[in-house]
Structure 1
Amino acid sequence: MSLYFSAIAVLVGAILYGLSLTTLYWLEDELNRRTLVQTSPMAINAFRAGAESPLQLNTNIKAYNDLNAIPQQDQFIKQLPLGFIDELHDTFTDDLFVLRSEYQQEGETKPLIIIMNAAQVELSNQEWRNINITILAVTFLLFILFGFAISKLIRRLVSPVRQLSDQLKLVQAPSEFKVSSGAALEFSELAASLNQYQRQIDKLIKQEQAFSRYASHELRTPLTVIQGAGRLLQQQGNEAFKIRQRDRIVNAANDMQHTIDALLSLVRHEDEHYSEQQRVLTQAELSKVIRYVQPLADSKAVVIDVDIQAEPLITPSEAVLRMLLINLLSNAINASEGGEIELKVNQEAIWVVDHGRGLTRNERDQQGHGLGLLIVDALCQRYQWKFSLQDTEPGCIAMLHFPHA
Structure 2
Amino acid sequence: MKAPKPPSSTAQSLTKKLSLYFNAIALLIGILVFALSQAGLYWLEDEINKRNLQQTADFAVDQFQQGANSPLIIGPNILAYDSVQALPKQFQPLSQYPIGYNDEITDDIAHDLFFYHSSFEIQGETKPLYLTMAAEKVELSPDEWRYINFASLAIMILLYLAFDFAISKLSKRLVQPVNQLSQQLKSAHRETSFSVPEGSALEFTELSNSLNKYRNQNEILIKQEQSFAKYASHELRTPLTVILGATKLLDKSTEPEFQLRQRARITKAATDMQHTIEALLSLVKQEQTRESSTCRKLVEKEIKQILDEVSPLAKYKHLKVELKIFAEPDIQPSPPVLRMLLINLLQNAINASDSGIITLEVCQSCIKVVDQGHGLNDSQQNKDGHGLGLLIVDALCDRYGWQLMLTSGEESGCIAKLTFPNIGETRASD
In structure 2, distance between residues paired with 1:27 and 1:212: 87
Structure 2: which 5+ residue stretches go unaligned? 1-15
- Name the counterpart of 2:413: 395
Q: More deviation in 245-254 or 387-396?
A: 245-254
Q: Distance in 2 between matches of 1:275 and 1:69?
A: 119
2: distance between equivalents of 1:81 and 1:278?
Answer: 109
TM-score between both structures, scaled by the size of structure 2:
0.83
Counterpart position of 2:164? 147
Once the two structures are superposed, what CA deviation does each residue of 1:242-271 show, in whole Å capped at 9, x if it has no partner? 333333323222221221122122234x48
> Are 2:153 and 1:167 equivalent residues in the alignment?
no
Deviation string 1:166-191 (CA, Å, 9 cap, x unpaired) is 33333454533344456555544444
- Name stretches of at least 5 consecutive residues in structure 1 with no aligned partner: none
Give the Cα separation in 1 of the matches to 2:50 and 2:102.
7
Aligned CA distance change for structure 1 residues 66 and 316 (closer, same or farther; 3 Å): farther
1:115 and 2:132 aligned: yes
**Number of the residue aligned with 1:14:** 31
Match of 2:298 among 261, 282, 306: 282
Corresponding letter in the other structure for 1:358: G
- Aligned partners of 1:27, 1:322: CA distance in 2, in Å? 97
Deviates more, 1:332-341 or 1:76-85: 76-85
User: Is the CA contact 1:356–1:395 (under 8 Å) kept in the aligned structure 2?
Assistant: yes
Tell me the secondary structure at the aligned position of residue 388 of structure 1: strand
Secondary structure of 2:116's aligned partner? strand
Which residues of 2 match residues 140-219 of structure 1 at below 5 A? 140-173=157-190, 175-181=192-198, 186-219=203-236
Deviations 1:159-213 (A, max 9, x none): 4433333333334545333444565555444444333322222221111111110
TM-aligned CA distance change 1:39 to 1:131, over 3 Å:
same
**Cα distance change of structure 1 residues 53 and 203 upon mapping to structure 2, 3 Å threshold:** same
**Partner residue, 1:379:** 396
Provide the residue aligned with 2:245 in structure 1: 228
Structure 1 312/78 Cα, relative in aligned 2: closer, same or farther at 3 Å? Answer: farther
User: How far apart in 2 are the matches of 1:43 and 1:234?
Assistant: 144
Is the contact between residue 55 and residue 64 of structure 1 (CA under 8 Å) also seen in structure 2?
Answer: yes
1:131 counterpart = 2:148 = yes
CA positional deviation for 1:52: 4.1
Q: Write the distance in 2 (CA, Å) between the matches of 1:320 and 1:124.
A: 100
- Which amino acid is the alignment partner of residue 249 of structure 2? L
Q: Which moved more, 1:72-81 or 1:395-404?
A: 72-81
Using the TM superposition, give the Cα deviation of residue 376 of structure 1 relative to its aligned residue in structure 2, in angstroms. Answer: 0.6
Q: Report if aligned partners of 1:303, 1:340 keep a CA contact under 8 Å in 2.
A: yes
**Contact 2:319/2:357 (8 A) holds in 1:** yes
Q: Distance in 2 between matches of 1:312 and 1:82?
A: 115
1:261 pairs with 2:283 = no
2:298–2:330 Cα contact (<8 Å) kept: no
Displacement of 1:335 in angstroms is: 1.0
Task: Report the CA distance between 1:110 and its aligned residue.
Answer: 4.6
RMSD (Å), alpha carbons: 2.9
SS in 2 for 1:177: coil
